[in-house]
Amino acid sequence: MDIEPCETTDPALHTLVAAMTAELVAVYGLPPDARPSPLPPRTHYLMGTGDGVALGCCAVQPEVQGWCLRNRMYVAPPARGSGLAAALVAAAEDVARRGGATGMRLETGLRQPAAMRLYAREGYRRVAAFPPHENDPESVCYQSGQK
């Protein structure tokens, strides 16, 4: 499997984000027309592929005070358990470090136990919810790097 930067206009990225959104709609009972909010222009996107097929993605969003925020993490069902998720985590951390970040934050949800296990396995520690998630009882936030 390969992980490479990708453009926001890449149709394969849009397909992966749509699949991620459909899963979140089902898991959290969101409205069927729910869409992820736009990310800032300086966001870096990564795509994992195998045999030329897009299998996973994530985004690294620059934040402030040395932090980056990872979001839009998704691995298609056929690639789950293949190590792609861990590879995307590592690639996102490399992008953040190259951009000068010393820490990575992320948010997932209580109804995503596989994601929570992944982040714990990759050395992330659970922290108090940070904005804009602090009032969402379903949010679970993690960080690595800075204290």
Asked if 109 contacts 73 with a C-beta cutoff of 8 angstroms, the reply is no
How are strands ordered across the β-sheet holding 44-50?
A: 2-6, 44-50, 53-62, 67-75, 103-109, 139-145, 125-127
- Structural domains of the chain, with CATH: 2-145 (3.40.630.30)
Classify residue 108 as exposed, middle or buried by CB count within 10 Å of its CB (0-12, 13-18, 19+).
buried
Classify residue 26 as exposed, middle or buried by CB count within 10 Å of its CB (0-12, 13-18, 19+).
exposed
pTM as predicted: 0.92
- Position 45: which residue type? Y
Residues 91-142 have pLDDT tens digits of 999 999 998 999 999 999 999 999 999 999 999 999 999 989 999 999 999 9
pLDDT of 147 strictly over 60: no
Residues 29-38 have pLDDT tens digits of 999 999 988 8
